[in-house]
Amino acid sequence: MKPDYERILISENEIAARIAELAAELDRDYADKDALFVCILKGSVFFFSDLLKEMKTMPVIDFMAASSYGNATVSSGTLNITKDLCVSVQGKHVVLIEDIVDSGFTLSRLKEHLLSRHPLSVRICTLLNKPDRRTVDVEVDYCGFDIPDEFVVGYGLDYAEKYRNEKDIYILSRSVYGG
């Protein structure tokens, strides 16, 4: 084990198996719909790509970026949309693809923001969910894994922009961020 990590939380194989199940669920729900799948940058890129490759449905895809974290491990409480969509949401069933729902702040704000542009629907699909940390109510429609209140990295998830390209998801040692 590399010294920065406490242990593996979810392995590459477990991620792949769960993504295949999520893709099947989404295929069932979106096969006959005009869908727009939105990758929330940057943490979701690996999840987004692997999920979409497993799907038979071919939605329009686009990217959004928002930041509320800076380099800390707790939310700063304000959300900046740093990159907006390039395509219109009108007439579309939107699915937001996120790496992790923690306090719920980011996704509740993003969902609100998109709903104001009148899409047909907005749903949330997240790889990871930390239910114990929720402070803002947000409905998670598709979830890969509920995880405990630990800071995790890898498979897209970062701490201060590091560790994103690990294949597995690790619990970061508290000594790294002084938690």
Q: Which residues contact 65 (CB under 8 A, 6 or more apart)?
A: 40, 41, 42, 81, 82, 83
Q: Is 102 a catalytic residue?
A: yes
Sign, CA dihedral 123-154-17-62, equals positive
| 129 contact, one of ligand IMP, Mg ion, none, CB 5-8 Å limit per kind | none
CB of 3 vs Mg ion, minimal distance in Å: 25
The DSSP line for 93-108 is EEEEEEEEESSSHHHH
Could you give the CA distance from residue 133 to residue 137 in angstroms, rounded to a whole number? 11
Per-position x/- string for 75-114, each x denoting binding to ligand IMP as judged by CB under 6 A, each - no binding: x----------------------xxxxxxxxx--------
CA angle 108, 122, 158 (to 5 degrees): 50
- Of residues 132-161, those binding ligand IMP (CB under 6 A): 151-153, 157
Looking at 29, 84, 102, 137, which residue is catalytic? 102
105 binds, among Mg ion, ligand IMP, none (CB under 5 to 8 A by kind): ligand IMP
Helices 45-54 and 12-30 sit at what angle, rounded to 10 degrees? Answer: 60
Q: Please state the closest distance from residue 55 (CB atom) to Mg ion, in A.
A: 21
Q: Contacts with Mg ion in 27-56 (CB under 5 A)?
A: 43
Q: Which of 68, 120, 140, 173 binds ligand IMP (CB under 6 A)?
A: 68
Question: Which lies closer to ligand IMP via its Cβ, residue 48 or residue 151?
Answer: 151
Cα separation, 170 vs 152, whole angstroms: 5
Closest approach of Cβ 110 to ligand IMP, in Å?
9
Nearest residue by C-beta to Mg ion? 43
Residues interacting with ligand IMP, by CB under 6 A? Answer: 43, 68-69, 75, 98-106, 151-153, 157
| Residues belonging to the active site | 102
